[in-house]
């Protein structure tokens, strides 16, 4: 689920509401707050389920919603900043893995060139 535009607004509100209640809130209290703010629009509830099922920023324990460790970070920083940082970190890890492979290939090629030079110089 994309958390931008109106969905991003809903997600920010939900995370903020949990953060204001020290990371947990009863499902009834959260749903009442959502319905009061968004006039029974179904969008925020869909986003809430996405935050639980897809994003893993919120956990539902029986009748209580609570923030995960990542959900707490997102609530503190704001969802947009959290998503940007997460994306940056994923790209950094991918680049690091790519550079490790390139370094290994350069090392192998250097070793092979050294062996070839050694063989050619011993023949001459």
pLDDT digits (tens, 9 = 90+) for 17-60: 999 999 999 999 999 999 999 998 899 999 999 999 888 899 99
Q: What is the DSSP letter of 39?
A: T
Q: Residues 10, 47: contact at Cβ < 8 Å?
A: yes
Torsion on CA atoms 76, 81, 86, 89, rounded to nearest 10: -110
Question: 5-77 adopts what CATH topology?
Answer: Arc Repressor Mutant, subunit A (1.10.10)
Read off the pTM: 0.70
**81-91 pLDDT per residue, tens:** 888 998 999 99
Kindly list the domain boundaries of the chain, sorted by start residue.
5-77
b/e 28-64 (16+ beta carbons within 10 angstroms → b): eebeebbeeebeeeeebbebbebbbeebebbeeeeee
Q: What is the structure's pLDDT at 66?
A: 92
Handedness of CA 42, 48, 51, 53 (dihedral sign): negative
Q: How confident is the model at residue 112 (pLDDT cuts 50, 70, 90)?
A: very high
3-state secondary structure of 23: coil
pLDDT at 109 > cutoff 90: yes
Q: What is the structure's pLDDT at 21?
A: 92
Which strands make up the sheet holding 58-61, listed edge to edge?
24-26, 64-67, 58-61
**Could you give the CA distance from residue 22 to residue 81 in angstroms, rounded to a whole number?**
20
Of how many residues is the chain composed? 124
């Amino acid at each position: 689920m994309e958390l931008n535009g109106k969905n991003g607004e809903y997600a920010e509100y939900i995370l903020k509401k949990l953060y204001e209640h020290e990371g947990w809130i009863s499902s009834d209290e959260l749903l009442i707050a959502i319905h009061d703010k968004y006039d029974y629009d179904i969008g925020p509830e869909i986003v809430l389920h996405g935050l639980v099922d897809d994003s893993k920023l919120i956990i539902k324990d029986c009748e209580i919603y609570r923030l995960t460790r990542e959900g707490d970070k997102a609530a503190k920083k704001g969802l947009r900043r959290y998503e940007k940082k997460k994306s940056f970190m994923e790209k950094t890890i991918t680049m690091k893995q790519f550079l490790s492979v390139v370094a290994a290939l350069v090392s192998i090629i250097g070793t092979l060139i050294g062996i070839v030079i050694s063989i050619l110089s011993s023949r001459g």
